[in-house]
Amino acid sequence: MSYAIDLFIDGKRVAGEGETEFVCRNPATGAEIGKFREASPAQIEESIASATRAQKVWAAMPAEERGRILRKAAQLLRARNDELARIEVEDTGKPIGEALAVDIQTGADAIEHYANLAGSLAGEYQDFGYGFYYTRREPIGVCAGIGAWNYPLQIACWKSAPALAAGNAMIFKPSELTPINAVHLAEIYIEAGMPPGVFNVLQGERNPGAALAAHPAVEKVSLTGSAPTGRKVMEAASPRLKEVSLELGGKSPLIIFEDADPEHAARLAMYANFLTQGEICANGTRVFIHSSIYDAVLDEIVKRTKSLKVGSPADPETQIGSLISMDHLGVVNGFVDRAREAGANVVCGGHRAEVPGHEHGAFYAPTVIADCTDDMEHVREEIFGPVMSVLKFETEDEVITRANQSDYGLAGGVVTKDLTRAHRIAANVQTGMFWINTYQAQPMQIPFGGYKQSGIGRENGWDVLDAYTQKKSVFVQMKPEELPF
Protein backbone atom coordinates (compact mmCIF):
# COMPACT_ATOMS: atom_id res chain seq x y z
CA MET A 1 0.00 0.00 0.00
CA SER A 2 1.26 3.49 -0.81
CA TYR A 3 0.26 6.45 1.33
CA ALA A 4 0.18 10.19 0.65
CA ILE A 5 2.43 11.66 3.29
CA ASP A 6 1.76 15.36 3.63
CA LEU A 7 2.09 18.24 5.99
CA PHE A 8 -1.14 19.67 7.43
CA ILE A 9 -1.26 23.45 7.66
CA ASP A 10 -4.27 25.68 8.35
CA GLY A 11 -6.80 22.89 7.82
CA LYS A 12 -5.32 21.49 4.59
CA ARG A 13 -2.93 18.79 3.43
CA VAL A 14 0.06 20.25 1.57
CA ALA A 15 3.11 18.52 0.13
CA GLY A 16 6.42 19.28 1.82
CA GLU A 17 8.66 21.62 -0.16
CA GLY A 18 11.90 21.24 1.78
CA GLU A 19 15.21 20.03 0.35
CA THR A 20 15.33 16.57 1.86
CA GLU A 21 13.18 13.75 0.57
CA PHE A 22 12.33 10.79 2.80
CA VAL A 23 11.24 7.33 1.79
CA CYS A 24 8.91 5.65 4.25
CA ARG A 25 9.21 1.85 4.46
CA ASN A 26 7.22 -0.92 6.07
CA PRO A 27 9.96 -2.30 8.34
CA ALA A 28 8.47 -5.82 8.24
CA THR A 29 8.90 -6.11 4.47
CA GLY A 30 11.27 -3.33 3.47
CA ALA A 31 8.65 -2.21 0.92
CA GLU A 32 8.27 1.49 0.19
CA ILE A 33 4.92 2.78 1.49
CA GLY A 34 5.30 6.46 0.69
CA LYS A 35 7.64 9.34 -0.03
CA PHE A 36 7.65 12.86 1.27
CA ARG A 37 9.71 16.01 1.43
CA GLU A 38 10.33 17.70 4.74
CA ALA A 39 8.68 21.05 5.54
CA SER A 40 10.56 23.97 4.02
CA PRO A 41 11.54 26.97 6.18
CA ALA A 42 8.69 28.95 4.56
CA GLN A 43 6.21 26.19 5.43
CA ILE A 44 7.44 26.13 9.03
CA GLU A 45 6.79 29.90 9.22
CA GLU A 46 3.39 29.44 7.60
CA SER A 47 2.41 26.76 10.13
CA ILE A 48 3.43 29.02 13.02
CA ALA A 49 1.53 32.01 11.60
CA SER A 50 -1.56 29.85 11.09
CA ALA A 51 -1.33 28.40 14.62
CA THR A 52 -0.85 31.88 16.10
CA ARG A 53 -4.04 33.13 14.41
CA ALA A 54 -6.06 30.03 15.25
CA GLN A 55 -4.95 29.86 18.89
CA LYS A 56 -6.64 33.18 19.62
CA VAL A 57 -9.96 31.94 18.19
CA TRP A 58 -9.67 28.60 19.99
CA ALA A 59 -8.75 30.13 23.36
CA ALA A 60 -11.67 32.56 23.12
CA MET A 61 -14.12 29.68 22.69
CA PRO A 62 -15.90 28.53 25.90
CA ALA A 63 -13.91 25.65 27.38
CA GLU A 64 -17.00 23.41 27.32
CA GLU A 65 -17.22 23.94 23.56
CA ARG A 66 -13.57 23.00 23.14
CA GLY A 67 -14.39 19.91 25.18
CA ARG A 68 -17.33 19.03 22.91
CA ILE A 69 -15.12 19.24 19.81
CA LEU A 70 -12.44 17.09 21.42
CA ARG A 71 -15.03 14.52 22.53
CA LYS A 72 -16.28 14.31 18.96
CA ALA A 73 -12.69 13.82 17.75
CA ALA A 74 -12.27 10.93 20.22
CA GLN A 75 -15.44 9.30 18.84
CA LEU A 76 -14.22 9.69 15.25
CA LEU A 77 -10.87 8.21 16.19
CA ARG A 78 -12.50 5.19 17.81
CA ALA A 79 -14.77 4.72 14.79
CA ARG A 80 -11.64 4.50 12.59
CA ASN A 81 -9.74 2.27 15.03
CA ASP A 82 -9.16 -0.69 12.71
CA GLU A 83 -8.12 1.33 9.66
CA LEU A 84 -5.72 3.52 11.65
CA ALA A 85 -4.33 0.51 13.54
CA ARG A 86 -3.51 -1.21 10.24
CA ILE A 87 -1.65 1.90 9.07
CA GLU A 88 0.25 1.99 12.37
CA VAL A 89 1.27 -1.64 11.78
CA GLU A 90 2.64 -0.87 8.30
CA ASP A 91 4.43 2.20 9.59
CA THR A 92 6.00 0.68 12.74
CA GLY A 93 6.10 -3.12 12.29
CA LYS A 94 4.26 -3.71 15.58
CA PRO A 95 1.79 -6.62 15.88
CA ILE A 96 -1.77 -5.90 14.76
CA GLY A 97 -3.19 -7.40 17.97
CA GLU A 98 -1.46 -4.65 19.96
CA ALA A 99 -2.26 -1.85 17.54
CA LEU A 100 -5.97 -2.74 17.47
CA ALA A 101 -6.22 -2.90 21.26
CA VAL A 102 -3.82 -0.20 22.36
CA ASP A 103 -2.51 2.45 19.99
CA ILE A 104 -5.64 4.18 18.73
CA GLN A 105 -7.71 3.41 21.83
CA THR A 106 -5.25 4.96 24.25
CA GLY A 107 -4.95 7.99 21.96
CA ALA A 108 -8.73 8.39 22.03
CA ASP A 109 -8.70 7.85 25.82
CA ALA A 110 -6.42 10.87 26.18
CA ILE A 111 -8.56 13.10 23.97
CA GLU A 112 -11.72 12.05 25.81
CA HIS A 113 -10.10 12.52 29.21
CA TYR A 114 -8.92 16.08 28.54
CA ALA A 115 -12.14 16.92 26.69
CA ASN A 116 -13.98 16.13 29.91
CA LEU A 117 -11.59 18.19 32.02
CA ALA A 118 -11.53 21.24 29.72
CA GLY A 119 -14.56 22.83 31.41
CA SER A 120 -13.15 22.24 34.90
CA LEU A 121 -10.01 24.32 34.54
CA ALA A 122 -10.53 26.89 37.26
CA GLY A 123 -8.52 29.31 39.31
CA GLU A 124 -8.20 30.16 43.02
CA TYR A 125 -9.76 32.94 45.09
CA GLN A 126 -8.96 34.36 48.51
CA ASP A 127 -10.41 37.36 50.34
CA PHE A 128 -8.09 39.44 52.55
CA GLY A 129 -10.72 41.93 53.73
CA TYR A 130 -8.99 44.96 52.17
CA GLY A 131 -8.94 43.18 48.83
CA PHE A 132 -8.96 39.81 47.21
CA TYR A 133 -7.07 37.85 44.62
CA TYR A 134 -8.01 35.31 42.04
CA THR A 135 -6.03 33.34 39.50
CA ARG A 136 -6.69 32.79 35.84
CA ARG A 137 -5.50 29.61 34.12
CA GLU A 138 -4.42 30.92 30.74
CA PRO A 139 -3.15 28.93 27.78
CA ILE A 140 0.53 29.29 26.92
CA GLY A 141 -0.01 29.96 23.21
CA VAL A 142 1.50 28.02 20.32
CA CYS A 143 3.12 24.79 21.49
CA ALA A 144 5.26 22.30 19.58
CA GLY A 145 4.98 18.54 19.98
CA ILE A 146 7.78 16.31 18.67
CA GLY A 147 7.16 12.56 18.59
CA ALA A 148 9.09 9.28 18.66
CA TRP A 149 8.36 6.38 16.30
CA ASN A 150 7.20 3.67 18.71
CA TYR A 151 3.62 4.92 19.33
CA PRO A 152 3.17 7.54 16.59
CA LEU A 153 -0.56 8.25 16.86
CA GLN A 154 -0.76 7.74 20.61
CA ILE A 155 2.05 10.26 21.18
CA ALA A 156 0.34 12.80 18.89
CA CYS A 157 -2.86 12.38 20.93
CA TRP A 158 -1.16 12.42 24.33
CA LYS A 159 0.58 15.67 23.49
CA SER A 160 -2.21 17.45 21.65
CA ALA A 161 -5.17 16.51 23.89
CA PRO A 162 -4.18 18.42 27.04
CA ALA A 163 -2.57 21.24 25.05
CA LEU A 164 -5.73 21.82 23.02
CA ALA A 165 -8.13 21.30 25.94
CA ALA A 166 -6.32 24.13 27.74
CA GLY A 167 -6.76 26.49 24.76
CA ASN A 168 -3.33 26.21 23.12
CA ALA A 169 -2.56 25.49 19.47
CA MET A 170 -0.11 22.70 18.66
CA ILE A 171 2.26 22.11 15.78
CA PHE A 172 3.14 18.44 15.82
CA LYS A 173 6.15 16.88 14.14
CA PRO A 174 6.03 13.09 14.03
CA SER A 175 9.15 10.98 13.67
CA GLU A 176 10.38 10.87 10.07
CA LEU A 177 10.15 7.07 10.35
CA THR A 178 6.42 7.05 11.15
CA PRO A 179 4.83 10.08 9.47
CA ILE A 180 1.44 8.80 8.32
CA ASN A 181 -1.15 8.87 11.10
CA ALA A 182 -0.51 12.34 12.59
CA VAL A 183 -2.11 13.82 9.46
CA HIS A 184 -5.14 11.56 9.91
CA LEU A 185 -5.48 12.91 13.44
CA ALA A 186 -5.32 16.47 12.03
CA GLU A 187 -8.14 15.63 9.60
CA ILE A 188 -10.20 14.13 12.41
CA TYR A 189 -9.81 17.28 14.49
CA ILE A 190 -11.09 19.36 11.55
CA GLU A 191 -14.01 16.96 10.99
CA ALA A 192 -14.88 17.30 14.68
CA GLY A 193 -15.19 21.09 14.26
CA MET A 194 -11.80 22.42 15.34
CA PRO A 195 -10.81 25.70 13.67
CA PRO A 196 -8.10 25.28 10.99
CA GLY A 197 -4.61 25.96 12.33
CA VAL A 198 -5.24 24.80 15.90
CA PHE A 199 -3.45 21.53 15.11
CA ASN A 200 -0.87 21.57 12.31
CA VAL A 201 1.55 18.83 11.28
CA LEU A 202 5.06 19.31 9.92
CA GLN A 203 7.07 16.45 8.46
CA GLY A 204 10.80 15.92 8.50
CA GLU A 205 13.62 14.96 10.81
CA ARG A 206 15.85 17.31 12.81
CA ASN A 207 15.23 20.54 10.84
CA PRO A 208 11.56 21.28 11.55
CA GLY A 209 11.88 20.00 15.14
CA ALA A 210 14.88 22.21 15.84
CA ALA A 211 13.24 25.21 14.10
CA LEU A 212 10.10 24.86 16.25
CA ALA A 213 12.15 24.48 19.43
CA ALA A 214 14.05 27.69 18.68
CA HIS A 215 11.27 29.83 17.16
CA PRO A 216 10.30 32.92 19.21
CA ALA A 217 6.57 32.46 18.49
CA VAL A 218 6.53 28.90 19.87
CA GLU A 219 6.10 29.20 23.63
CA LYS A 220 6.54 25.59 24.69
CA VAL A 221 8.01 22.42 23.28
CA SER A 222 7.19 18.88 24.34
CA LEU A 223 9.43 16.09 23.05
CA THR A 224 9.17 12.33 23.28
CA GLY A 225 12.48 10.89 22.21
CA SER A 226 15.97 9.95 23.31
CA ALA A 227 18.01 11.74 25.97
CA PRO A 228 20.56 13.13 23.44
CA THR A 229 17.71 14.71 21.42
CA GLY A 230 16.24 16.02 24.69
CA ARG A 231 19.46 17.89 25.37
CA LYS A 232 19.45 19.43 21.88
CA VAL A 233 15.81 20.51 22.14
CA MET A 234 16.43 22.08 25.53
CA GLU A 235 19.47 23.89 24.19
CA ALA A 236 17.54 25.21 21.19
CA ALA A 237 14.71 26.40 23.47
CA SER A 238 16.97 27.96 26.11
CA PRO A 239 17.75 31.36 24.48
CA ARG A 240 14.02 32.15 24.73
CA LEU A 241 13.74 30.51 28.19
CA LYS A 242 10.72 28.62 26.88
CA GLU A 243 8.99 25.80 28.67
CA VAL A 244 10.29 22.37 27.79
CA SER A 245 8.74 19.02 28.59
CA LEU A 246 10.88 15.96 27.87
CA GLU A 247 9.76 12.31 27.85
CA LEU A 248 12.99 10.43 27.29
CA GLY A 249 14.54 7.00 27.55
CA GLY A 250 14.83 4.52 30.38
CA LYS A 251 16.60 1.49 31.81
CA SER A 252 13.99 0.47 34.30
CA PRO A 253 14.43 -2.11 37.07
CA LEU A 254 11.93 -4.90 37.74
CA ILE A 255 12.65 -6.50 41.13
CA ILE A 256 11.43 -10.03 41.83
CA PHE A 257 11.55 -11.14 45.48
CA GLU A 258 11.81 -14.67 46.86
CA ASP A 259 8.10 -14.87 47.75
CA ALA A 260 6.99 -14.29 44.13
CA ASP A 261 5.32 -17.08 42.20
CA PRO A 262 8.02 -18.00 39.64
CA GLU A 263 5.57 -18.48 36.77
CA HIS A 264 3.74 -15.20 37.36
CA ALA A 265 7.03 -13.35 37.86
CA ALA A 266 8.43 -14.80 34.62
CA ARG A 267 5.35 -13.80 32.64
CA LEU A 268 5.42 -10.30 34.11
CA ALA A 269 9.12 -9.93 33.25
CA MET A 270 8.31 -10.90 29.66
CA TYR A 271 5.39 -8.45 29.53
CA ALA A 272 7.71 -5.77 30.91
CA ASN A 273 10.30 -6.49 28.20
CA PHE A 274 8.75 -7.85 25.03
CA LEU A 275 5.61 -5.76 24.53
CA THR A 276 5.97 -3.87 21.22
CA GLN A 277 9.10 -6.01 20.60
CA GLY A 278 10.84 -4.11 23.39
CA GLU A 279 10.40 -0.68 21.82
CA ILE A 280 8.84 0.93 24.90
CA CYS A 281 10.62 3.56 26.97
CA ALA A 282 9.31 2.32 30.33
CA ASN A 283 10.17 -1.35 29.78
CA GLY A 284 11.64 -3.18 32.78
CA THR A 285 14.87 -4.11 31.03
CA ARG A 286 16.92 -4.80 34.17
CA VAL A 287 15.27 -7.80 35.81
CA PHE A 288 16.67 -8.36 39.33
CA ILE A 289 15.76 -11.81 40.68
CA HIS A 290 16.39 -12.95 44.26
CA SER A 291 19.09 -15.64 44.31
CA SER A 292 16.77 -18.20 45.97
CA ILE A 293 14.39 -18.26 42.99
CA TYR A 294 16.78 -17.04 40.29
CA ASP A 295 17.06 -20.40 38.51
CA ALA A 296 13.35 -21.16 38.73
CA VAL A 297 12.29 -17.79 37.31
CA LEU A 298 15.01 -17.73 34.66
CA ASP A 299 14.11 -21.25 33.48
CA GLU A 300 10.47 -20.21 33.16
CA ILE A 301 11.39 -17.02 31.28
CA VAL A 302 13.61 -18.91 28.84
CA LYS A 303 11.07 -21.69 28.25
CA ARG A 304 8.27 -19.20 27.57
CA THR A 305 10.38 -16.76 25.55
CA LYS A 306 11.41 -19.55 23.19
CA SER A 307 7.76 -20.15 22.40
CA LEU A 308 6.85 -16.52 21.64
CA LYS A 309 5.51 -16.10 18.14
CA VAL A 310 7.74 -13.85 16.06
CA GLY A 311 5.89 -13.22 12.84
CA SER A 312 4.14 -11.05 10.35
CA PRO A 313 2.80 -7.95 12.12
CA ALA A 314 -0.44 -8.39 10.16
CA ASP A 315 -1.05 -11.83 11.76
CA PRO A 316 -3.31 -11.55 14.84
CA GLU A 317 -1.35 -14.43 16.46
CA THR A 318 1.98 -12.56 16.28
CA GLN A 319 3.48 -11.49 19.60
CA ILE A 320 6.80 -10.06 18.38
CA GLY A 321 6.68 -7.93 15.23
CA SER A 322 9.43 -6.16 13.33
CA LEU A 323 11.81 -3.60 14.77
CA ILE A 324 11.48 -0.12 13.29
CA SER A 325 14.31 -0.51 10.76
CA MET A 326 17.30 -2.59 9.71
CA ASP A 327 19.53 0.16 11.13
CA HIS A 328 17.89 -0.24 14.52
CA LEU A 329 18.23 -4.02 14.27
CA GLY A 330 21.98 -3.48 13.80
CA VAL A 331 22.08 -1.33 16.95
CA VAL A 332 20.19 -3.94 18.99
CA ASN A 333 22.37 -6.78 17.72
CA GLY A 334 25.52 -4.76 18.45
CA PHE A 335 24.52 -4.48 22.12
CA VAL A 336 23.97 -8.25 22.29
CA ASP A 337 27.31 -9.04 20.61
CA ARG A 338 29.15 -6.81 23.07
CA ALA A 339 27.24 -8.42 25.97
CA ARG A 340 28.63 -11.80 24.86
CA GLU A 341 32.14 -10.35 24.59
CA ALA A 342 31.78 -8.92 28.10
CA GLY A 343 31.06 -12.41 29.46
CA ALA A 344 27.27 -12.33 29.83
CA ASN A 345 25.32 -15.42 28.90
CA VAL A 346 22.83 -15.07 26.03
CA VAL A 347 20.44 -17.84 27.06
CA CYS A 348 17.95 -17.37 24.25
CA GLY A 349 17.56 -15.29 21.12
CA GLY A 350 20.50 -13.04 20.34
CA HIS A 351 20.09 -13.08 16.58
CA ARG A 352 17.96 -11.84 13.71
CA ALA A 353 14.77 -13.86 13.29
CA GLU A 354 13.61 -15.33 9.98
CA VAL A 355 9.96 -14.79 9.13
CA PRO A 356 8.80 -16.59 5.96
CA GLY A 357 7.67 -14.15 3.27
CA HIS A 358 9.41 -11.27 5.09
CA GLU A 359 13.02 -11.79 4.01
CA HIS A 360 13.78 -8.04 4.25
CA GLY A 361 12.02 -7.55 7.59
CA ALA A 362 13.82 -6.24 10.69
CA PHE A 363 12.80 -9.10 13.00
CA TYR A 364 14.89 -9.87 16.08
CA ALA A 365 14.44 -12.94 18.24
CA PRO A 366 13.36 -12.09 21.80
CA THR A 367 16.55 -12.28 23.80
CA VAL A 368 17.35 -13.08 27.42
CA ILE A 369 20.82 -12.33 28.78
CA ALA A 370 21.73 -13.92 32.12
CA ASP A 371 24.77 -13.65 34.40
CA CYS A 372 24.87 -9.90 33.88
CA THR A 373 26.72 -7.43 36.07
CA ASP A 374 25.70 -3.84 36.71
CA ASP A 375 28.68 -2.36 34.88
CA MET A 376 28.05 -4.10 31.55
CA GLU A 377 27.10 -1.79 28.68
CA HIS A 378 23.84 -3.59 27.85
CA VAL A 379 22.77 -3.28 31.51
CA ARG A 380 23.54 0.45 31.68
CA GLU A 381 22.34 1.69 28.31
CA GLU A 382 18.92 1.76 26.70
CA ILE A 383 18.70 -0.82 23.88
CA PHE A 384 15.05 -0.23 22.87
CA GLY A 385 14.60 -3.75 21.52
CA PRO A 386 13.50 -7.20 22.76
CA VAL A 387 16.47 -7.73 25.07
CA MET A 388 16.04 -8.61 28.75
CA SER A 389 19.02 -8.41 31.11
CA VAL A 390 18.74 -10.68 34.15
CA LEU A 391 20.65 -9.97 37.37
CA LYS A 392 20.85 -11.82 40.72
CA PHE A 393 20.49 -10.15 44.13
CA GLU A 394 20.58 -11.15 47.83
CA THR A 395 19.15 -8.35 49.98
CA GLU A 396 16.60 -5.56 49.79
CA ASP A 397 19.11 -2.80 50.54
CA GLU A 398 21.48 -4.14 47.93
CA VAL A 399 18.83 -4.30 45.20
CA ILE A 400 17.58 -0.76 45.92
CA THR A 401 21.11 0.60 45.63
CA ARG A 402 21.73 -1.30 42.40
CA ALA A 403 18.34 -0.38 40.91
CA ASN A 404 19.21 3.28 41.47
CA GLN A 405 22.63 2.96 39.85
CA SER A 406 21.36 4.33 36.57
CA ASP A 407 21.39 7.70 34.87
CA TYR A 408 17.79 7.01 33.92
CA GLY A 409 14.76 7.07 36.22
CA LEU A 410 11.67 6.48 34.12
CA ALA A 411 9.90 3.47 35.63
CA GLY A 412 10.29 0.39 37.78
CA GLY A 413 8.39 -2.46 39.34
CA VAL A 414 8.40 -5.01 42.12
CA VAL A 415 6.93 -8.48 42.43
CA THR A 416 6.33 -9.61 46.02
CA LYS A 417 3.50 -10.75 48.28
CA ASP A 418 4.88 -8.58 51.12
CA LEU A 419 3.01 -5.33 50.59
CA THR A 420 4.90 -3.38 53.25
CA ARG A 421 8.09 -4.22 51.44
CA ALA A 422 6.50 -3.37 48.10
CA HIS A 423 5.65 0.16 49.27
CA ARG A 424 9.12 0.53 50.81
CA ILE A 425 10.69 -0.36 47.48
CA ALA A 426 8.31 2.00 45.63
CA ALA A 427 9.36 4.82 47.96
CA ASN A 428 13.09 4.17 47.53
CA VAL A 429 13.48 3.45 43.84
CA GLN A 430 14.22 6.72 42.02
CA THR A 431 11.78 6.60 39.12
CA GLY A 432 8.79 8.66 38.03
CA MET A 433 6.51 5.62 37.60
CA PHE A 434 6.41 2.47 39.70
CA TRP A 435 4.29 -0.67 39.45
CA ILE A 436 3.54 -3.16 42.24
CA ASN A 437 2.78 -6.70 41.06
CA THR A 438 2.07 -5.54 37.54
CA TYR A 439 3.72 -3.56 34.74
CA GLN A 440 2.73 -1.21 31.87
CA ALA A 441 -0.63 -0.11 33.37
CA GLN A 442 -1.16 3.52 32.44
CA PRO A 443 -4.62 5.03 32.75
CA MET A 444 -4.83 8.69 31.70
CA GLN A 445 -5.31 9.83 35.30
CA ILE A 446 -1.73 8.82 36.22
CA PRO A 447 1.04 11.40 35.72
CA PHE A 448 3.81 9.79 33.68
CA GLY A 449 7.38 10.99 33.31
CA GLY A 450 10.95 10.50 34.35
CA TYR A 451 13.41 11.26 37.12
CA LYS A 452 17.06 11.98 36.31
CA GLN A 453 18.00 11.69 32.61
CA SER A 454 14.58 10.26 31.72
CA GLY A 455 13.06 13.67 31.36
CA ILE A 456 11.46 16.81 32.67
CA GLY A 457 7.77 17.29 33.37
CA ARG A 458 4.89 14.86 33.23
CA GLU A 459 2.43 13.67 30.66
CA ASN A 460 -1.16 12.70 31.59
CA GLY A 461 -2.90 13.32 34.92
CA TRP A 462 -3.69 16.87 36.10
CA ASP A 463 0.01 17.69 35.98
CA VAL A 464 0.01 18.02 32.22
CA LEU A 465 -2.86 20.52 32.30
CA ASP A 466 -0.79 22.61 34.70
CA ALA A 467 2.06 22.34 32.24
CA TYR A 468 -0.09 23.63 29.36
CA THR A 469 -1.46 26.62 31.27
CA GLN A 470 0.12 29.56 32.97
CA LYS A 471 -1.28 31.04 36.11
CA LYS A 472 -2.04 34.73 36.30
CA SER A 473 -2.69 36.17 39.77
CA VAL A 474 -5.00 39.20 39.82
CA PHE A 475 -5.17 41.34 42.95
CA VAL A 476 -8.13 43.68 43.53
CA GLN A 477 -7.93 46.51 46.09
CA MET A 478 -11.34 47.02 47.78
CA LYS A 479 -10.56 49.68 50.42
CA PRO A 480 -8.83 53.04 50.18
CA GLU A 481 -5.12 52.61 50.88
CA GLU A 482 -2.35 54.89 52.08
CA LEU A 483 0.20 55.10 49.32
CA PRO A 484 3.84 55.85 50.24
CA PHE A 485 4.33 58.01 47.17
Give catalytic residue positions: 247
C-beta separation of 210 from 54 below 8 A: no
Site string for ligand NAD, 452-471 (x = CB under 6 A): ---x----------------
Q: Rounded distance, CA 164 to CA 160, Å? A: 6
Among 226, 345, 405, 437, binds ligand NAD (CB under 6 A): 226
Stretch that binds ligand NAD, among 115-123, 147-155, 294-302, 398-406 (CB under 6 A): 147-155
Rounded least distance, CB 125 to ligand NAD, Å? 35
Among 201, 213, 399, 444, binds ligand NAD (CB under 6 A): 213
Among 233, 266, 339, 347, binds ligand NAD (CB under 6 A): 233
Q: Rounded distance, CA 321 to CA 98, Å? A: 10
C-beta separation of 189 from 197 below 8 A: no
Among 249, 284, 321, 361, binds ligand NAD (CB under 6 A): 249
Instruction: Give the helix/strand (H/E) hosting 24.
Output: strand 21-25
Question: Would you call 445 exposed, middle or buried from its count of C-beta atoms within 10 A (0-12, 13-18, 19+)?
Answer: exposed
Q: Where are the alpha helices (DSSP H) in 342-392?
A: 377-380
Q: By CB under 6 A, is residue 103 in contact with ligand NAD?
A: no
Q: By CB under 6 A, is residue 148 in contact with ligand NAD?
A: yes
Rounded least distance, CB 347 to ligand NAD, Å? 25
Q: By CB under 6 A, is residue 86 in contact with ligand NAD?
A: no
What residue type is assigned to position 201 of the chain? Answer: V
Q: Rounded distance, CA 118 to CA 130, Å? A: 33
Residues whose CB falls within 8 Å of the CB of residue 370, separated by 6 or more in sequence, listed in order = 298, 344, 345, 347, 390
For residue 69, the 8-state DSSP code is H
Among 206, 231, 471, 472, binds ligand NAD (CB under 6 A): 206
Q: By CB under 6 A, is residue 231 in contact with ligand NAD?
A: no
Site string for ligand NAD, 391-410 (x = CB under 6 A): -------------------x
Q: By CB under 6 A, is residue 232 in contact with ligand NAD?
A: yes
What residue type is assigned to position 76 of the chain? Answer: L
Largest CA distance in the chain: 86
Choose among 482, 477, 468, 481: nearest CA to 121.
Answer: 468
Could you give the dihedral angle defined by the CA atoms of residues 61, 67, 68 and 74, in that order, rounded to the nearest 10 degrees?
A: 140
Number of other CB atoms surrounding residue 4 within 10 Å: 11
Among 107, 209, 413, 457, binds ligand NAD (CB under 6 A): 209
Question: Would you call 405 exposed, middle or buried from its count of C-beta atoms within 10 A (0-12, 13-18, 19+)?
Answer: middle
Stretch that binds ligand NAD, among 110-118, 241-249, 261-269, 315-323 (CB under 6 A): 241-249
Stretch that binds ligand NAD, among 84-92, 182-190, 203-211, 414-422 (CB under 6 A): 203-211
Rounded least distance, CB 472 to ligand NAD, Å? 30
Stretch that binds ligand NAD, among 9-17, 206-214, 291-299, 359-367 (CB under 6 A): 206-214
Instruction: Specify the 3-state DSSP secondary structure of 146.
Output: strand
Residue least distant from ligand NAD (Cβ): 209
Rounded least distance, CB 209 to ligand NAD, Å? 2
Which residues form the interface with ligand NAD (CB under 6 A)? 146-150, 173, 175-176, 205-206, 209-210, 213, 224-226, 229, 232-233, 247-250, 281, 382, 384, 410, 450, 455
